[in-house]
């Protein structure tokens, strides 16, 4: 079942609901699509996991960044069909989490999948990919940097070290001054540090500082999970200045935790000593205790 609608007046935003019947449960899988620029070749598709970016290239098909949870590939594909006849040719996965790679399985085998080498390694041993042959897994990997396509469709992939996981990719669209940061920048607040997948609270600020220092000319950013405002094209969302502030926040967080550790404070007392709310009033601190613990463990070599 395919249903489309327009949000607001002069918009190209679309909602696609795909009703999937499985067993006795019926799940309504709805995604929303909004353009990010007046030229309308970059879109964000939200719902069903992490944000998906869709770049409609001149002649090379549609490039997707991330594919949401398993079962959400079809809603992505149907949404893309609303804006172009070009097929999806390339998928970039920003990291290994199931809410960013699960939809890979819904795409034909001739769609190339690209990810950081550490992400590809982790995906091979996780559900739903393990034991499924090569279906939905990266065909091509990179270590530090990889450039795809050219001209205004150029895409630069960067890996600057551990953070959210050990295989986080920053996806830059230099021709249009935009970037997708995946869950390295998922929320405006304390990040999720997935230690089991190689994430590091100690390396996180270094990784963010390298992003800020190394990448130029980006005005706007697609975050992993911050909800987009309504309207299409989206006018105000996360910017490069937000990334710079987020890097400072994570540096300040680590500096404070290191100082608390040196002072012999407990995790609870280290959280109380953070004192970041005055400098970052809009930031959520819900993962503060977990992140202090993760950093304490890491500093202890555990």
183 binds Zn ion (CB under 5 A): yes
- Comparing CB distances to Zn ion, the nearer of 20 and 290 is 290
The contact pattern for Zn ion, residues 126-165, with x = CB under 5 A and - = no contact, is ----------------------------------------
- What is the closest distance, in whole angstroms, from the C-beta atom of residue 225 to Zn ion in the complex? 8
Residue 26 CA, chain-centre distance (Å), reads 28
- Whose tokens are 């679309």? That residue is 14
- Comparing CB distances to Zn ion, the nearer of 119 and 232 is 119
- What is the closest distance, in whole angstroms, from the C-beta atom of residue 97 to Zn ion in the complex? 4
Q: Total residues at the site for Zn ion (CB under 5 A)?
A: 2
d(CA 226, CA 153): 25
Q: Fill in the DSSP letter of residue 10.
A: S
- What is the closest distance, in whole angstroms, from the C-beta atom of residue 294 to Zn ion in the complex? 15
- What is the closest distance, in whole angstroms, from the C-beta atom of residue 275 to Zn ion in the complex? 28
d(CA 229, CA 238): 10
The contact pattern for Zn ion, residues 94-133, with x = CB under 5 A and - = no contact, is ---x------------------------------------
DSSP reduced 3-state for 114: strand
- What is the closest distance, in whole angstroms, from the C-beta atom of residue 182 to Zn ion in the complex? 7
CB 163 within 8 A of CB 86: no
- Comparing CB distances to Zn ion, the nearer of 51 and 97 is 97
- What is the closest distance, in whole angstroms, from the C-beta atom of residue 193 to Zn ion in the complex? 10
- Comparing CB distances to Zn ion, the nearer of 16 and 158 is 158
d(CA 74, CA 85): 16
Which parts of 224-261 are beta strand (E)? none
Angle between helices 240-262 and 204-214 (to 10 degrees): 150
- Comparing CB distances to Zn ion, the nearer of 183 and 206 is 183
- What is the closest distance, in whole angstroms, from the C-beta atom of residue 164 to Zn ion in the complex? 6
- Whose tokens are 């034909």? That residue is 108
- Whose tokens are 């091509």? That residue is 140
66 binds Zn ion (CB under 5 A): no
Count CB-CB contacts under 10 A for residue 229: 10
- Comparing CB distances to Zn ion, the nearer of 50 and 61 is 50
Which segments of 129-233 does DSSP mark as H helices, in order? 204-214
Instruction: Supply 43's token pair.
Output: 């879109």
- What is the closest distance, in whole angstroms, from the C-beta atom of residue 190 to Zn ion in the complex? 14
Cis status, amide bond into 167, omega within 30 of 0? no
Q: Looking at 30-38, 56-64, 183-191, 198-206, which segment touches Zn ion (CB under 5 A)?
A: 183-191
Q: Looking at 53-61, 90-98, 104-112, 258-266, which segment touches Zn ion (CB under 5 A)?
A: 90-98
Cis status, amide bond into 128, omega within 30 of 0? yes
- Comparing CB distances to Zn ion, the nearer of 184 and 218 is 184
Can you give the binding site for Zn ion, defined by CB under 5 A?
A: 97, 183
């Amino acid at each position: 079942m395919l249903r489309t609608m327009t949000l607001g007046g002069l918009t190209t935003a679309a909602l696609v609901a795909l009703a999937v019947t499985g067993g006795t449960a019926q799940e309504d899988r709805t995604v929303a699509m909004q353009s990010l620029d007046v030229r309308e070749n970059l879109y964000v598709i939200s719902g069903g996991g992490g944000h998906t970016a869709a770049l409609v290239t001149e002649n090379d098909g549609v490039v997707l960044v991330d594919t949401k949870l398993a079962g959400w590939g079809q809603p992505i594909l149907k949404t893309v069909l609303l804006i172009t006849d070009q097929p999806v040719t390339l998928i970039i996965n920003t990291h290994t989490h199931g809410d960013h790679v699960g939809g890979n399985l819904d795409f034909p085998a001739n769609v190339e999948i690209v990810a950081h080498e550490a992400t590809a390694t982790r995906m091979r041993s996780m559900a739903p990919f393990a034991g499924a042959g090569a279906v939905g897994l990266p065909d091509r990997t990179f270590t530090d940097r990889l450039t795809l396509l050219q001209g205004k469709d150029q895409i630069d992939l960067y890996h600057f070290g551990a953070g959210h996981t050990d295989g986080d990719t920053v996806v830059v669209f230099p021709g249009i001054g935009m970037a997708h940061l995946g869950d390295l920048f998922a929320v405006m607040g304390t990040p999720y540090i997935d230690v089991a997948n190689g994430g590091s609270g100690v390396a996180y600020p270094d990784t963010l500082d390298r992003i800020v220092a190394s990448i130029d000319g980006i005005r706007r950013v697609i975050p992993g999970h911050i909800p987009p405002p309504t309207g299409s094209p989206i006018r105000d969302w996360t910017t490069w200045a937000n990334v710079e502030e987020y890097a400072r926040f994570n540096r300040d967080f680590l500096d404070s935790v290191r100082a608390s550790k040196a002072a012999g404070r407990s995790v609870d007392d280290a959280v109380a000593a953070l004192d970041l709310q005055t400098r970052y009033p809009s930031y959520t601190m819900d993962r503060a205790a977990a992140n202090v613990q993760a950093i304490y463990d890491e500093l202890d070599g555990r």
